[in-house]
Chain A
């Protein structure tokens, strides 16, 4: 692997060089970690990034959901239809993002509006989940604003759920860990935008620096106002310090229209008043690794490919080429869409 670091992706469709590059998200970029008050000072300040979701451009196609499942290799259940378009019916440990459909009769215009909001982690500047989490290093925040769950350190206690003002994390009953959108930190780390943004056909989801995204949003808001949406605006709630996932809303004065998006989200006072050191004490006794070591170990592991793994991968490729294993070349044989006319 090249020692060259992957670039910071600046758009949803950033295409980094194809040769392997070293991660651009380093242990030293962590600015906050759950239940760890003694973090070393960050080595540098990354440019804050953001995902902007322009609800007025969303057609509810669920390409973002599909891309999320594909990229994260999750396996949501095939559920039933319960009389709505929302599927799965809620976020799950295997479905980190979800289109929520709301039918709204606008009393001012007499028009029906079908408001479709992509729900998922907002990546709060002041993350309630991180504050609530008692497991050292299970939730981290980088200096670019991404709030990441580190499953290796997660104990599945569910405190993050209570800490989240947006009701986002979901606890896996199988793996006993909490799951949510990572803003594709693993893609961002190698110079790519989030999978959902890349898949979005209408560019309703865009990604870049937070400043750029705010500027883009302002342009969209001008357009929406020209079309009669007087209260169009940006959703970047300050109660949680602003967010690194933002919405352009036609009715920014009524976020609740969009499947109960909170108007003024704040972290529960119970969580705020919770004293970090007190809750971690017991856990340290239970054998959870401490600060620096936990972080360093984590990041080194995530991005390292051993010689053995390389060999195994090569073997798979070779087999596929020979067709030696009936399935090696087409792991998704049953899933491949047809190409027919």
Chain B
């Protein structure tokens, strides 16, 4: 989230698209209720199903799964055409006026530089024109044909209301009504918030869906303001924390990068980072990159990390490919390239696509270790459960070790919510039986491993042997100790640059913010964005003061929000050029003539004068981007791409299948289903009654939603002779499932590209373990393909077929 849950109460318009907040985030949805009740805010829901969010919305429109980019580009086109643009914001706070290289272009659904054989773009042309002074060339009049603004206008020109209706299946009148409602928030004193989740991420072009809405929000001047923003609703408790601390194959904590193989030393690693400002006087915050990175290395290897050995840089793994994401790893499992798999808090047998492939992959392992508080399907992937897990147990030789862990209520620590708040919690119950915390398990594994390296040597023992492990009890580090390490501290005395002769920090003191981190090895900090969470003043995450003096829902003394306890990112953009709030009644910060002050921590240097420094300091140009340069693999603007399995062709390029640069393995590509054989679009989703694959273990949740079902329209039901409550079979080119049929008016057939498209809704919550009735998940059917940028599986749009099935269970 750029903003916070509590900030949603400040909005005038909530758009829920690419998510279903009421259904999947019912507790956070209370802030939508707040905005509606106390501000008179309106709620728009755009979704393939009339869902629980739609039930309390002011306006709803259906959309075909996987066509969101067309819808969003259409809204941008409509806003430009109807002058619903926050012009001051667009001119000054975005890259609209910058000139783009003359060799950049877009044709037939593809950007310049496409290489079909490599399924990749040469991105050279996707950049600004630079002057001889090293700064970006621009045309503040927005007249230059190759300025970003005109390229954007050209780019969205194809997305007429008729095009949108034809691709998305959204009735034109409903679409235009939504354009109008959204367009009203271009007024400087109106705010719209975008709330999205996996409905946008689980596509082969998921990141571009989100880009599309982010661009619309920039056009309307809704980023950085109270009640605005791009608000990703995180689907698991603490999944925000997972990405923050870098549990991705290509990241280390704080969104810093794992080095590539080609970056042979720290100097070469830093050449492409620490971006210099690209406009005069601009602050480019990533110039501090080396301070964060060296402090991270010091946290890893302590005294063993020295200037001479590049602070231990050479002990970090180096990537030979872009990333070893979960899909890549499971493909390697399947290809017998992996011996041992540690599965920690993850149930991939239900969570990852193409279950048959997943089962095959796990069957190739020698050892599978599952750390979980629950008896997961993954730990039992080898058990035969009739049709629900139809495996030949005798043929599976994988050894499985289950290490029972505590659940969140049984241990202490911080949970990071969608709004980036690190909220400390305390153990509320005693763990059952032999359950141990994840920290205890990992510490014990590590100590034994280190002993092996110490006694037996081995290839490159240094990263393990030299790992800093100065915890009070090496076998059981305390959560507070780890939190302090994430925060960071001084290793030696740190002089105060503002007051020569005095100290900023004495050796051993906790830093109070990332501004105190150093690149000379005098500080350590495992996760720079968490700096300030556990300072000399104590555990900031444990704060529970709900005072809100400004009435803006910023709650600065409640827990700690990264970065720097800031509640609304980019909040400098909530003020005009002179530093006055666009909307005085919704003041986050303002310039008082000397400094930035207000209800939130300013997202700019406190004394950076208005007119001098652009508000988006994480970009070297100081502005936000309609044109995203080379940062996305699939283009600097979002362009409509069909899902890999789609009921219709892409009207921009009828030859194109899916996202032309998304990685797909050869056998998975060959295994895609055809629209002739599989005419229905399946989409997956959550239900309020359950939480993922966990609560089916709980009897109360199982009572409220006991049995697996799929949802279909009355029209599809009539066509296939299916009645409400019938048992049906749903199958794709990868597998089949049986379910009860919920026949509903809430799903309607759509008309796209001249044909009727039926949607089959498949909730995710059933498996073969737990208290609820045995069932299936959509992963039995979904394709093994992910987003081009971040590899999230395409669970929201794929092809299936459906028929009425016999009432009896098919014998195993």
Contact = CB atoms under 8 A, between A and B. Distances in A.
Nearest to B704: A62
B755 interface: no
A111 interface: yes
Contact of B345 (A58, A85, A95, A340): A340
- Nearest 9 A/B pairs, CB to CB: A339-B408, A340-B345, A83-B725, A83-B724, A329-B430, A81-B707, A114-B55, A330-B432, A59-B22
Given A63-B26, A112-B745, A329-B431, 6 more contacts: A57-B37, A80-B773, A88-B703, A220-B37, A223-B37, A341-B242
5 contacts: A59-B56, A59-B688, A65-B703, A65-B704, A202-B56
A120 B257 CA distance: 55
Contacts of B40: 223, 226
A277 interface: no
B55 A336 contact: no
Interface in B240-297: 241-242
Interface in A206-242: 220, 223, 226-227
Nearest to A202: B33
A325 B746 CA distance: 50
Given A78-B706, A82-B725, A201-B27, A66 B746 contact: no
Contact of B52 (A61, A66, A76, A115): A61
B724 A84 contact: yes
Interface of A: 56-63, 65-66, 69-70, 75-85, 87-88, 95, 103, 105, 111-116, 201-204, 220, 223, 226-227, 320-321, 323, 326-327, 329-330, 333-341
Interface in B345-367: 345-346
B695 interface: yes
Interface stretch (B197-205, B471-479, B736-744): B736-744
B706 A79 contact: yes
Nearest to B702: A78
Interface in B36-61: 36-37, 40, 50, 52-56, 58, 60
Given A62-B689, A227-B58, A70 B700 contact: yes
B52 A59 contact: yes
B595 interface: no
A88 B704 CA distance: 6
Contact of B372 (A62, A66, A114, A338): A338
B653 interface: no
A111 B742 contact: no
A149 to B, nearest CB: 22
A59 B23 contact: yes
Interface residues of B, number: 71
A43 B724 CA distance: 55
Interface stretch (B231-239, B604-612, B633-641): B231-239
A57 B56 contact: yes
B150 interface: no
Contacts of A75: 699
A189 B804 CA distance: 53
A223 B35 CA distance: 12
B698 interface: yes
B617 interface: no
Contacts of A341: 236-239, 241-242, 345
B468 interface: no
A259 to B, nearest CB: 14
**Does more than half of chain A's interface fall in helix, strand or loop, or is it mixed?**
loop
Given A334-B697, A339-B407, A341-B242, A103 B56 contact: no
Contacts of B689: 61-62, 87
B52 A338 contact: no
B743 A83 contact: yes
A76 B703 contact: yes
B373 A338 contact: yes
B704 A81 contact: no
A76 B772 CA distance: 13
Contacts of B373: 336, 338-340
Given A70-B700, A80-B707, A60 B688 contact: yes
A204 B33 CA distance: 9
Contacts of B694: 337-338, 340
Contacts of A337: 407, 691, 694-695, 697-698
A57 B409 CA distance: 30
B726 interface: yes
Contacts of B55: 58-60, 113-116
A103 B691 contact: no
Contacts of B91: none
A294 to B, nearest CB: 34
B98 interface: no
A63 B688 CA distance: 9
B398 interface: no
B374 interface: yes
A66 B742 contact: no
Contacts of B52: 59-61, 114
Nearest to A113: B55
Contact of A81 (B37, B53, B409, B725): B725
Contacts of A103: 744-746
B411 to A, nearest CB: 8
B29 interface: yes
B539 interface: no
B688 A61 contact: yes
A66 B773 contact: no
Contact of A338 (B22, B27, B407, B432): B407
Interface string B396-409: 00000000001111
Given A337-B407, A338-B373, A341-B242, A80 B706 contact: yes
B236 A201 contact: no
A73 B658 CA distance: 51
B709 interface: yes
A63 B705 CA distance: 12
A70 B773 CA distance: 20
B708 interface: yes
A69 B346 contact: no
A112 B688 contact: no
Contacts of B316: none
A95 B706 CA distance: 14
A56 B57 CA distance: 9
B726 A83 contact: yes
B458 interface: no
A147 B409 CA distance: 36
B23 A114 contact: no
B155 interface: no
Contacts of B27: 201
Interface string B53-73: 111101010000000000000
